[in-house]
Structure 1
């Protein structure tokens, strides 16, 4: 029986066997390969570039959901994947197929011509090449690690940059100080291009604000220029010029209000007239991002929980900021009067 996941796994195993999987924070090698590919990064639709410690994937999910609710075609690059590699690459709204991935791997290896490059670098380059070959209205790119020297940081003039909450993670490569981590994340900010910034620890915010000021990049910061909160079962977003009244985010947890608001503000800043308030509402409420405090109702464990009248949730929090968000979300469940049991794995 044909197994698509195994087919993808075999192709990715080939790439991993040929190229090292260790992350080397630099952009020189990926830029060399992109040059050989004809600079696909310059042939993309408007790019929204998303960096930060936590919330990148959720924010990206809201960006895509809102844009697609407005009828736009959206390219999306995320990492890592949850079950299968194809989840990382969405071309004009569709997950990449086996034949397209195989072709990209073959041509990208040939274009690399034996040059030193990592798995993440060649994967990012071939994804941008695929995006450049297919018409779309918007391109959403999630940073893999850090920002300044990440292999996605190859855009001279993104439409908008987003920096989600910055906290301690990957200290061996980005830290150890929070200011150093913030400096890495702020590296995606570009000359004169707008940046939307989540609420930050003060020392991280100062680094990001200084970077934006030095590059004359217009910055909208949560808690300073814009705000978002839950009220009477709705999400309210105060922008510099209006108050938006939207449904609560489709992803569960109080922290998702901030993530959804970042996406809303980035798209409003981009300014495509097709993204109206109806699209904002539909996208915010309909966003899906598996394993981010996701309620499981199918499969053996999910079905068993439903049969017993219980809720079973899955989440991937793995650093201090994520742990705090998870604790706040679980506390909300506990306040509803239902017993809560945590199963933690490392």
Structure 2
């Protein structure tokens, strides 16, 4: 352990170094000049400081004050060496956070005992600090594993819905990336953009509860069948109810509200305008746009430009105008997403 000795007397430095060298696992570092000692401390961490009070340029109290201001030096033990009559200096030293004192002339036995005690304290501090850092790292790793597990669960649930739904996995990728793009152009923070990218694929999770004869019907649904199909928003909201994490709460919002319309004519609750959560308004636009440009058993794919025209014409009725403006603000990126995630017709 490194013991820093700061004293303007070479005799004292020699004496203290000799005593320290007799102790196991102790290395003295000595300075006659307190200013040079502070420069060294700015780059190094001593385990103990032996500090003379009476020094030119900078006395022990001034040194101690500046030492404590250095990063990481708040709790390093300091023993101040003073004359036995300087009781007021001792009081000031205690107030300045000195940990212990040695009287001049220094007694060898007392010196080694006090140094040993302070180094024992320092070892305990370092062990506690290392333990805290280890615990922090373990918590960080555990949290990362939980997040990854949650993302995996979301992915698997999305795949489960996808297996029952005639819509393709590419649709999930396109609409979730469209959602992220809209969030970005609305000025949402990067963490929310990623959150929406991960949660958006859960928008149709409620289709797990729709009977096969309706979900897999090759043609258009009649009105009674549509009523059943529309239940998937409620089923999704129920499936993710009482979510406890940000991701699953976001997925629940998306599942429950992605079929609401800005003018209040949507389902399941007929929410209007800003009553619809922003995430629901974003995913509603991304989902419809991609559905229009995708092949379905009951329709051909629309062209990108026709779908764009539909979105513009329905801003303020079906879609939030701010979301539409954000979507169209980076049209090249929309085209890039559409080109990147193609349906595998094979």
TM-score by length of 1: 0.25
Q: Which structure's relative contact order is higher, taking Cα pairs within 8 Å and 6+ residues apart?
A: 1
TM-score by length of 2: 0.25
Structure having the higher helix fraction is 2
Structure having the higher strand fraction is 1
